[in-house]
Structure 1
Amino acid sequence: MAFRRILVPLTGTAAGEAALATALMTARIWNSHIHCLHVRVDARDVAPLAGEGLSGAMIEEMMAATERESGERAGRVRALFERFVAHAGPITLADSAETANKADGVTISFESIPGREEDVVAQQARLYDLAVVPHPEADSDVSSSDALHAVLFDSGRPVLIAPLTPPATIGNRVCCAWNGTAESASAIDVSLPWLHHAQARQVLYSEDYQRRGPKVEGILAYLHWHGVDAEGKQFKPISKDVGAGLLAAARDFEADLICMGAYSHSRLRQLILGGVTRHVLENADIPVLMRR
């Protein structure tokens, strides 16, 4: 398996530029096609939210303002895309599979469509091998990252969260987090191409992270059956924070990619009490491959 089709939801932020750069690095490894998708706010969605007490003229004015702002934002995103392509090095614009298959090397395309971002991104991601999404902005709560959670919960596909700064490398030294859950098993499954590609591999585990399920010895044996020799490495929480301990262990290994399951506990519990997924999403400074 290889990641032949990569989806990048674009919003026009600096984090979006880093996501594009991360997607391009990934695409160069797998000789992939990158499809950049911008979802514009549909002005028709504003009317039901306007509520009672507003005249028709006021609602029309709100819809016109929304349409205007959405168009301006779409223009900024398109400009970001064009600047990126102009400076990306060898890359080919290709809007169809036929064109992409004839091209030599990485191909890229852009699309801007109206709709609800979380719905459109989740549905479109089902047609791609991987979605690369921007890191949650430093001034934005991770719970507000619609594209990220749409892919995690509703696409059935893996998501690669890009760091805020484009990485120097990706996939040379890979850490996989293991806690015995179905989510971590799913993440290991989708990480197999990366593990075969990597020069060094480590499976991180902890008594404080382990849930009901197979211990680390079981997943190491599973990987060996797939021709992947990995080292098991136990880590300890830092100040009782398992996520901080996990990231510290990845840094000690000099990892340039972390693979892990997402939200073994419910998302609501993690948003209220915190959790490993939440900590890693907010604090990782290297790419993180997640699957739920």
Structure 2
Amino acid sequence: MALKRVLVALGGSRYMDSAMAEAVQIARRNRAEIIGLAVMDETLVDPAQAAPIGGGASAADLRDDRRRRIEEAIDDAIGRFERVLADSGLPGRAERTDGDAQEVLVEAMKLADLSIIGIRHAFDYGTVDHADDFIARVATASNRPIIAMPEGARPVSKVLVAYDGSMASANALRSFTTLRAFDPSLIRLVYCRDDESDPDAILAEGRGYLELHGYTVETAVLEDPPSTAILAEATDIEADLVVMGAVGRRGLSRLPAGDTAASLLETSSVPLFLRR
């Protein structure tokens, strides 16, 4: 499968620079175009939805001030993206849309081969001072691959693939393999033990698929809960990327707070490759 369009969320956060740098690396390797997307979400303007930017003002003044600051942040984010794009010499463009941020992003992802988003926030533009479940909700609302980027883009040499036999984990593994966005020297395929499945059989099917595509694969069964075991293993092998399904074997329609992917989105310092 050819990777020809990379979508990057222009959210203005400190993670945006890493997302843009990763998009450039992947697009250059695949001769792809990059689309930068900025979204003005009116819910961020309402002071009831987030902590006030200034104090002592009327609600109308506060909304006007917040809108002005967000508009300035959007202009800055688009300008930064356009400079990065020009320096890269790659084809692409910036797009700015008004609307519900989740709905706009999911719609834009339909015709993107890969979307790259800052790991904590996508379109907050400095109005939100805490992590939320935005990316988890986007990952489950769409059926497209996402890379959630922390700070610091880096070459991908070692990849940890969390595979539990679910459709979501199979989709993530297959998208990672067929997109060929990366060329790792080693893949470590892991399964978190439970009482319901045969880990050796599940790892064997995942390993067979990866080896069919020419990857060097190691396997391991992890004993601790997935939310802690996956990141611990990624740290132990110094993984540059974690690949996993956005939902587990139960086929949840949305990610609850305790779900593995949602938990990793809050804590990971390693890029996460997700797909439902």
TM-score, normalised to structure 2, is 0.79
Q: Any conservation in 1 of the 2:140–2:246 contact (CA below 8 Å)? A: no
Which of 136, 147, 159 is residue 120 of structure 2 equivalent to?
Answer: 136
Q: Any conservation in 2 of the 1:8–1:37 contact (CA below 8 Å)? A: yes
Which of 220, 223, 228 is residue 233 of structure 1 equivalent to?
Answer: 220
Alignment map for 1:67-106 (pairs within 5 Å): 68-85=68-85, 89=87, 91-92=88-89, 106=90
Q: Distance in 1 between matches of 2:181 and 2:80?
A: 32
The Cα shift of 1:135 comes to 1.1
Structure 1 residues 70 and 254: CA distance shift in structure 2, 3 A: closer
Q: Distance in 2 between matches of 1:276 and 1:14?
A: 24
Q: Secondary structure at the match of 1:11?
A: coil
Alignment map for 1:13-162 (pairs within 5 Å): 13-41=13-41, 68-85=68-85, 89=87, 91-92=88-89, 106-136=90-120, 139-143=129-133, 145=134, 148-149=135-136, 151-162=138-149
1:177 aligned onto 2:167? no
What is residue 269 of structure 2 aligned with on the other side? 285
Q: Distance in 2 between matches of 1:278 and 1:211?
A: 23
| Per-residue Cα deviation, 1:139-169 (whole angstroms, up to 9, x for no partner) | 52332x2xx2454123321100101x21321
What is residue 6 of structure 1 aligned with on the other side? 6
**Largest Rg, 1 or 2:** 1
Q: Report the aligned-residue RMSD.
A: 3.2
Alignment map for 1:196-235 (pairs within 5 Å): 197-208=183-194, 215-235=202-222
What is residue 243 of structure 2 aligned with on the other side? 259
Structure 1 residues 211 and 77: CA distance shift in structure 2, 3 A: farther
Q: Distance in 1 between matches of 2:109 and 2:246?
A: 17
Runs of at least 4 residues off by over 4 Å: 58-67, 209-214
What is residue 166 of structure 1 aligned with on the other side? 152
Q: Any conservation in 2 of the 1:175–1:201 contact (CA below 8 Å)? A: yes
What is residue 177 of structure 2 aligned with on the other side? 192
The Cα shift of 1:250 comes to 1.7
Q: Secondary structure at the match of 1:215?
A: helix
Q: Secondary structure at the match of 2:77?
A: helix
What is residue 244 of structure 1 aligned with on the other side? 228
Q: Distance in 2 between matches of 1:249 and 1:38?
A: 35
Match of 1:162, as an amino acid?
M
Q: Any conservation in 2 of the 1:39–1:117 contact (CA below 8 Å)? A: yes
Q: Structure 1 regions of 5+ residues with no counterpart?
A: 50-57, 93-105
Match of 1:250, as an amino acid?
A
Q: Any conservation in 1 of the 2:139–2:274 contact (CA below 8 Å)? A: yes
Match of 1:223, as an amino acid?
L
Match of 2:22, as an amino acid?
T
Q: Distance in 1 between matches of 2:269 and 2:253?
A: 22
Structure 1 residues 195 and 179: CA distance shift in structure 2, 3 A: farther
Structure 1 residues 269 and 41: CA distance shift in structure 2, 3 A: closer
Structure with higher helix content = 1
Q: Distance in 1 between matches of 2:195 and 2:240?
A: 21
Q: Structure 2 regions of 5+ residues with no counterpart?
A: 50-57, 122-127
Q: Distance in 2 between matches of 1:223 and 1:189?
A: 9
Q: Secondary structure at the match of 1:222?
A: helix
Aligned residue pairs total 255
TM-score, normalised to structure 1, is 0.75
